[in-house]
């Protein structure tokens, strides 16, 4: 009986330390003694690492109120996170498990180009609204299937893509020819 209790006690008290070595007794010893702390990140900077990893510590993104004009002249507002850098665009909405009907993400590209998106590591279905430099909607992709590598996008070039929850565009009559307007923007770091 004692050997089983000793093994159980040892297995419960052994934890992995930050350096990946067993740490008997549960104390937190640093992986590298007296290692200098990295400097604090500046606004718009991302930590080192793979931004597509599920456990990557994504910094807060700037936000904007986006007004989407539908095909009938109606206006619909979305509070969107702004992905204006390569790393923030790569991460996008990966690993999110929900997106409120009034929320989205606006991808801003440095130049007008033919844009297409896939849904790698994206867990929720989305609608994608593609717009040119003037904000004119050049295409809409509805109900993009999560966790797929199918490339989706219009033939016409664009500069902006607004991702919103699946079904959002159909409910509001959003189609090519409508308009995106950035109503108020805060904290966007240009690339």
- Residue 189 confidence (pLDDT): 55
Cα(first)–Cα(last) distance of the chain, in Å?
A: 65
Write down how long the chain is: 191
Tell me if 52 sits within 8 A of 94, measured CB to CB.
Answer: yes
Range 154-159 average pLDDT: 96
Question: Which among 155, 101, 116, 156 is positioned nearest to 134, based on CA atoms?
Answer: 156
CA distances from 50 to 11, 91, 122, 190 (A): 32, 9, 16, 21
Q: Residue 138: pLDDT above 90?
A: yes
Q: How confident is the model at residue 48 (pLDDT cuts 50, 70, 90)?
A: low
Domains and CATH numbers, the chain: 63-186 (2.60.120.1140)
pLDDT given at position 109: 94
- Give the tens place of pLDDT for each residue, 51-82: 666 675 667 788 999 999 988 889 999 999 99
Q: Rounded mean pLDDT of 156-185?
A: 93
Residue 113 CB-density burial (10 A; 0-12 exposed, 13-18 middle, 19+ buried): exposed
Among 55, 67, 59, which Cα is nearest to 42's?
Answer: 59
Average pLDDT, the chain: 77
Output the pLDDT for position 7. 33
* Half-sphere exposure (Cβ direction) of 68: Cα atoms closer than 13 Å: 33
- Residue 164 is predicted with a pLDDT of 98
| Residue predicted with more confidence, 140 or 45 | 140
CB 163 within 8 A of CB 126: yes
The model's confidence at residue 184, banded by pLDDT at 50, 70 and 90, is low
Rounded Cα gap, residues 113 and 158, in angstroms: 5
Mean per-residue pLDDT, 107-116:
94
Provide the pLDDT confidence category of residue 34 given band limits of 50, 70 and 90.
Answer: low
16-29 pLDDT, tens digit each: 333 444 333 444 44
Compute the average pLDDT of residues 133-147: 95
Dist. CA 83–CA 98, nearest whole Å: 18
- Confidence (pLDDT) at 96: 86
Of residues 151, 176, 160, 158, the one with CA closest to residue 80? 160
pLDDT of residue 99: 93
Flag the least confident range among 40-44, 67-71, 122-126: 40-44
């Amino acid at each position: 009986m004692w050997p089983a209790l000793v093994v159980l006690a040892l297995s419960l008290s052994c934890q992995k330390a930050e350096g990946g070595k067993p740490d008997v007794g549960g104390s937190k010893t640093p992986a590298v003694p007296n290692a200098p702390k990295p400097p604090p990140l500046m606004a718009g900077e991302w930590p080192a690492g793979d931004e597509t990893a599920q456990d990557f510590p994504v910094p807060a993104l700037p936000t904007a109120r986006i007004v989407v004009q539908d095909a009938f002249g109606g206006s619909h507002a979305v509070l969107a996170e702004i992905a204006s850098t390569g790393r923030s665009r790569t991460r996008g909405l990966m690993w999110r498990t929900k997106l409120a009907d009034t929320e989205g993400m606006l991808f801003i590209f440095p130049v007008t180009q033919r844009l297409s998106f896939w849904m790698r590591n994206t867990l929720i279905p989305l609608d994608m609204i593609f717009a040119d430099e003037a904000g004119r909607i050049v295409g809409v992709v509805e109900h993009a299937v999560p966790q797929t590598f199918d490339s989706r996008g219009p033939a016409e070039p664009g500069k902006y893509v607004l991702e919103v929850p699946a079904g959002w565009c159909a409910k509001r009559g959003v189609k090519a020819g409508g308009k995106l307007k950035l109503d108020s923007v805060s904290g966007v770091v240009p690339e």
